[in-house]
Chain A
Amino acid sequence: MERYIDIANAACEAAMRAGADCADVHLQQGASRAIDLELGEVKNVDARSYRSVSVRAFSRGGCGWASASKLDEADARAAGETAAALAKAADPDPDFRDLPVGGPLVEIEGLWDEAVAALSLSDLLGYVTPEIEAVRAVAPDAIIGGGSGTWGGGSVYVSSKGTCVTQRGSGVSCSISAAVRRGDDVGSYWDGDYGRRMSDFSPAGIGKRAAEESLRLLGSRTAPPGVFPVLFSKECGRNVLMPLIYSANAEDVQRKRTWVVGKQGEQVASQALTMIDDPFIPGGGGSSPADGEGVPRKKLTVIDRGVLTTYLHNSYTAGKAGVENTAHSTRGGISPTNCNPVIGDRTEAALLKAMGTGLYINSGGLAVNDTSGDFSQVVDTGYWVENGEIVYPVKETMISGTYIDFLRAIEALSSDPRVEPGSVSPAVLVGMIRVVAR
């Protein structure tokens, strides 16, 4: 890693020597391996290595970027000089305060696992093979796809403010898709698992689940149109809540291009919803000790019993607003880390019973127009429910409305979430929503 720190510092120094007021550099390198399947057989086996350096320079607040895929000092310096020249050509930006100064970082367990980084392609084959067999045991004629992959690498962040953050990361994943065809009738589903450390990775069972669900989705019909409650299963419950968190991006708010403008401190969702952004979850997919500008992360309650308590900031937006930086910079943007809802006290099965008649949706997300706050979404896979019992799978069925009405209509979150590294996804029961169908 020392060599990469030297290269990053060389790039940063070059930018400063070329006249930048301040500069930062992000460098990353690593390797990945993957296999993928076609019709239940190994189709492709890939090995890749990657490396890149990017330099961001500022002059009177104006910003210039330069990047390169080579990691030698000469190319890194050239990138630094280019970034500085671009920054000087940019308009001054009085809203830019300065690059932030880093601070002490919390050590987070499980972001790097030597055993994951050492996984061979043969190991990956070992994960998918039993899952293929599991699909065939349930649905011998299933069309099977999916694959498995692993990655490991490191990154360096340095800035002219003296910040230096090095991180290592690893990951392994496995997914299986199954489709069953009966004439023109097709049921299909997929499931997967991932982990940044071996102890969080347990793909056993994904093949069986994908096969069983694909069979259950045969014979789909359209749902009756109308206004009904909708239960989003634990497979997708978190997905329908995350657009709210993405919309709470302070840059979008300051630019006045999101429906969340002016909503800080307001009740944007029902009291059933509390969401906490926690960057320190061991092994979490979104965990990291520092944000993209080297600022130490913080744990934050973003939605407190339905109230939007804060926007997510980077150093630029925090400086412009004169508020504390929440450390959500992606260096050029803003993003949450591991933002999860607080779970409720009834199981998904109990919520299904409580819903009575309505839609049960078990995959996909919610396409919210971030500007207007309207949504219009097809049901990728789901079921029509009567008297708390699943009756039949649906097709050509949509839901629509305004997102704030949707959030305010949340009645309950389940107590038995799907838990993945850094992600907690309970089922979410939402009151009356417009259901559109043929």
Chain B
Amino acid sequence: MRDILMSIRDRAIELGAEFGEVRLVSDDRTGMSRQDGKTDRMSSGTSTGLSVRVLHDGSWGFASTSIVGSDAAHSCLGEAIAAARLAPPAEGIELATVPAHEATATTQVEIDPRSISAEKKMGLLRTQEAEMLRVAGDKAVNTTVGLSNSVTRTVVCNTQGAFVEQQQTRVGFNCFVVCADGDVRQEGYESRARLAGWEEMAAVTPDAYGAKAANKAVELLSARRALAGVFPVVLHPSVVGVFIHEAFGHNAEADLVLAGESVLEGKMDTQVASDLVTVVDDGTIPGQWGSFAFDHEGTPSQRRPIIDKGKLVGFMHSLESAGRMGVAANGSARADGFAQRPIVRMSNTLVEAGETPFEEMVRGIDQGVLFQDGRWGYVFCQRGQYTLNAGSGRMIRNGELCEMVRDCCMCGMVLETLHHVDAVSREWDLPTRGGGCGKNGQGMPVSFGGPYLRVADMVVGGQDA
């Protein structure tokens, strides 16, 4: 296959491409789940395909196929060139260059998950399921536990001289429970997802997942609805993670900056946040869901500083965005499978720890909310208006944590919120529950976390007055 990939790369140059890249991706995955006490689904899947991307007369052309072979690959190249030629000739794009290199990277795996029997995997799910039922008792109306593992092999070959083979092994596991009490119905969810082998699942204990999910759902049955209004809030690391990824992180993706779609355009080296805030995107953390050795343009992964003490210091880059901005590529271009183009993506996005103890952050609030269990969010990058959803929270009164509140959303303008951060905790967490990010129709494994943040005032969309 190496010969085919290299022949495509060489032929791209002969056909006049300024840059050419061929990427081969094969994927092998299995999954199983249990629901309400019995097997729900057992699954297995494979996929293989390749894509060719060319830069020709300043325009990008891309083609993909699930037929893997020399003829299909050359046909793909022809389609990519034809596609690029369709666009009117544009000003040349000077891509950043990465020194030519050949490399192989494989996830460090102690126990290959493919070697574990279905019965052993099912045993883990049964244990978690039993724990959820033990804790939730007759309040449990629906339990679901699932487990998946995958091995993905990606080969990137480009005209800058990169030939990179990368094999990533992933394991993931989740528990979901719905509890009911009369007409009140609430849910609990916990998961663990690692770029690693089965050894990571061996570390899964029932009390950390099944019991925790069930406890959450049971507690929420008696929780009040969140208040509506503008309050000082403390955000749990899991909510901070969603915030820094969704509300801020997308704005720091250089392709969106170049497209005029980011509130950070023109703000490099300026203060975009409280000087308590430092943000990095780090694709090199061992085992973390958003980590990788090389991005899908063959650039080595890195730790990317984004905000340093409130000042904007960097963006996440592809070869193109780095070239257009005149900086070094930093390994942020990834693609969702063979049939998608690499685009700029986050990896593991983090706010760094501060110095304030959590208790002290809470002590400073007369009436506010601690939001926990970050779930989802989104942002309109151009305007900077974002929304966040948290699965639960606790009221804060007179500096004390009080009753639990149910899930709700918050909203704000991202740069105003970042400026209104008035405390950053010394406690810090990077959840290992795994996460997916959607952009331009492509999903991508990511993770996010940080310390507790206190924001002076945030719009809270609760249901109670």
Contact = CB atoms under 8 A, between A and B. Distances in A.
Interface stretch (A39-47, A111-119, A293-301): A39-47
Interface residues of A, number: 75
Interface stretch (B82-90, B280-288, B345-353): B82-90
Interface string B79-121: 1101110111010000000000000000000000000001000
A91 B36 contact: no
B83 A91 contact: no
Contacts of A101: none
Given A145-B261, A377-B461, A396-B413, A44 B62 contact: yes
B298 interface: no
Nearest to B258: A38
B368 to A, nearest CB: 15
B36 A255 contact: yes
Interface string A245-279: 00000000001111101000000000000000000
Contacts of B59: 42-45
Interface string B366-393: 0000000000000010111101010000
Interface string B254-274: 000011110100000000000
A395 interface: yes
B47 A69 contact: yes
Interface of A: 33, 35, 38-39, 41-52, 54, 62-70, 82-83, 86-87, 89-93, 121-122, 125, 143, 145, 179, 181, 186-188, 225, 255-259, 261, 332, 367, 369, 371-374, 376-378, 380, 395-402, 434, 436-438
Interface in B9-55: 35-36, 38-49
Given A38-B258, A44-B62, A259-B185, A67 B459 contact: no
Interface in B61-83: 61-67, 79-80, 82-83
A88 to B, nearest CB: 9
Contacts of A70: 48, 66
A122 B465 CA distance: 56
Contacts of A52: 47, 66
A39 B142 CA distance: 49
Contacts of B63: 46-48
Interface of B: 35-36, 38-49, 59-67, 79-80, 82-84, 86-88, 90, 118, 141-142, 178, 180, 184-187, 225-226, 228-230, 258-261, 263, 339, 341, 380, 382-385, 387, 389, 406-409, 411-413, 457, 459-463, 465
Contacts of A256: 141-142, 178, 180, 185
Contacts of B90: 41
A188 B379 CA distance: 13
7 contacts: A44-B60, A50-B339, A66-B45, A69-B48, A179-B382, A188-B382, A255-B141
A82 B142 contact: no
A140 to B, nearest CB: 14
B411 A396 contact: yes
Contact of B463 (A38, A50, A376): A376
A436 B230 CA distance: 8
A64 B42 CA distance: 5
A373 B339 CA distance: 37
B462 A436 contact: yes
Contacts of B60: 43-45
A49 B383 CA distance: 36
A123 to B, nearest CB: 10
Given A93-B39, A374-B463, A437-B459, 5 more contacts: A45-B61, A92-B38, A143-B382, A397-B411, A402-B463
Given A143-B259, A372-B406, A436 B228 contact: yes
Contact of B187 (A371, A398, A438): A371
Contacts of A371: 178, 185-187
